Amino acid sequence: MPYDPVRHGAQRIVGPGFHEQVFALVRLIPRGRVSTYGDVGTQLGSVRVARHVGYALAALPARRGRKPVPWHRVVNSRGRLSFPLGDPRADEQRAALAREGVIVDELGRVAEFARRRHRFAKP
DNA sequence: GGTTTGACCATAA
DNA sequence: CTTATGGCCAAAC
């Protein structure tokens, strides 16, 4: 179903401060589990903002205050890393996940993705 | 205030 | 499995 602003009305899914909301949600993903850009977006109101979840994480400062944002626990909807292997960020993400017992294979796929996928509690 | 920028997603072929 | 396409929208410039 295509999104039709005329039929559905112009809706404000998220607003300013979106990035901060993304960071807060990503911090809720437990060790050893993963989530997806789409799931985080859905939690914030719509899967349509999935891209911006990625943009928010891309804009993540090296350190946010005292609580680090576990950006490495966010993968795409097909259970794969969003960078090609060889990209330093992919290596960093894979290493960080491995440290938590999450195996990422040579093709960038998260082992047991369905089982490790975190479901956010319904608000 | 328009334009560009993307760590995405669902579908279809 | 792959590629292509259209959709989405906050930020930064």
How do residues A70-96 score in pLDDT, each as one tens digit?
Answer: 999 999 999 999 988 888 889 999 999
- Tens of pLDDT, residue by residue over A40-65, are 999 988 898 999 999 999 988 766 66
Which residues neighbour strand B (beta carbon < 7 Å)?
A 36-38, 41, 47, 50-55, 57-58, 60, 71-72, 74, 76-78, 82-83, 89, 93
First to last CA, chain A: 25
How many Å apart are A4 CA and B7 C1'?
28
The answer to pTM > 0.75 is yes
Rounded Cα distance, A118 and A73, in Å: 10
Nucleotides of B under 7 A from a protein CB: 5-10
